[in-house]
Amino acid sequence: MVNREDLDWRTVEAGGRNIHYGEVGEGPPLVLLHGTGPGSDAWGNFRHNIGPLSESFRVIAVDLPRFGGSEKLSVNQPRLDFLSRSVRDFMDAIGVESADVIGNSMGAQTAMKLAIDSPDRVRRLVLMAPAAVGYSIFSPMPTEAGRQIAGYYKGEGPTRSKMERLLKSLAYDPEFVTDAMITERFEASIEPDVLEINQGAHWSRQSLEGELHRCVAPSLLVWGQDDRATTLDIGLLLLRKLPDARLHVFARCGHWAQAEHADEFNRLVVGFLA
């Protein structure tokens, strides 16, 4: 079991912004990109995976700009353009020419955009439930979890009960969401610099539908059958549209396959990347 303090946490300047990240393990580089949502960061998204993956890889867990320990800054441009460029700048800054990339939700969309714009930088992709297109035939849009995220800083502002509802919308089993998890995410979501950058509208989504054919890296799509953030039909569309993809679906699983089915997820990923 790897704890947070077992990682070598650093901050590097990349592309004119400060990026916080943690490293552990040896071997081929494996970059982990977390999802969006208030209080999200690399350790919170991947705490169940970093230890097992570090037995085979040099694991690099990145706090994307605006999140975790990375620089909090307003972004007035399409978010995937910005985030993929930030990841490329980060890889340049730490001397990683190319890597396998695991992305969760928005992190998966960022990984796809990186592979589209800089195919030489990405070897293989593990993509957990990326909302890479802007529609679903299974669910009203925005989805339940999407509405919770978009409304978190609106109205009365962030509250612990809002955070609880949000996190429970991301899990299949509400008992998976512990009081400690709610408290950790809520406290991260109300830090002064986080509140400041989240005034006003939630930063806009960016569809990759017209670019999917350019995402040529071998890709493993991972979905929860009961995902209420990015519904399964989007995974089926990506399976058809991506040039080299395969899809694994977990039953009785929400948006957090890497946490709700951690052991099987870790074995699946290691097998694919090997």
What's the pLDDT tens digit per position in 71-106?
998 888 889 999 999 999 999 999 999 999 999 999
Q: Over 80: is that where the pLDDT of 13 sits?
A: yes
Q: Over 90: is that where the pLDDT of 272 sits?
A: yes
Report the 10 Å Cβ neighbour count for 179.
9
Alpha-carbon gap, residue 200 to 208, rounded angstroms: 25
Q: Over 70: is that where the pLDDT of 149 sits?
A: yes
Residue 180: burial class (beta carbons within 10 Å; 0-12, 13-18, 19+): exposed
What's the pLDDT tens digit per position in 32-73?
999 999 999 999 999 999 999 999 999 999 999 999 999 998
Alpha-carbon gap, residue 25 to 78, rounded angstroms: 34
Alpha-carbon gap, residue 107 to 84, rounded angstroms: 9
Q: Over 80: is that where the pLDDT of 138 sits?
A: no
What's the pLDDT tens digit per position in 206-216?
899 999 999 99
Question: Which pLDDT value is given to residue 196?
Answer: 92
Alpha-carbon gap, residue 37 to 60, rounded angstroms: 21
- Please give the share of the chain, as a percent, with pLDDT higher than 90: 89
**Any catalytic annotation for residue 20?**
no
Question: Which pLDDT value is given to residue 201?
Answer: 59
- Among 20, 48, 248, 255, the active-site one is 255
Q: Given pLDDT bands bounded at 50, 70 and 90, which one contains residue 109? A: very high
pTM: 0.97
> Who contacts 258 (Cβ-Cβ below 8 Å, separation ≥6)?
45, 46, 48, 49, 102, 104, 128, 222, 265
Residue 190, CA distances (Å) to 52, 68, 160, 193 in order? 31, 12, 10, 8
Pick the CATH number of 4-139+206-273 from 3.40.50.1100, 3.40.47.10, 3.40.50.300, 3.40.50.1820: 3.40.50.1820
Question: Which pLDDT value is given to residue 200?
Answer: 65
Q: Which residue has the higher pLDDT, 140 or 92?
A: 92
What's the pLDDT tens digit per position in 159-200?
999 999 999 999 999 999 999 999 999 999 999 999 999 886
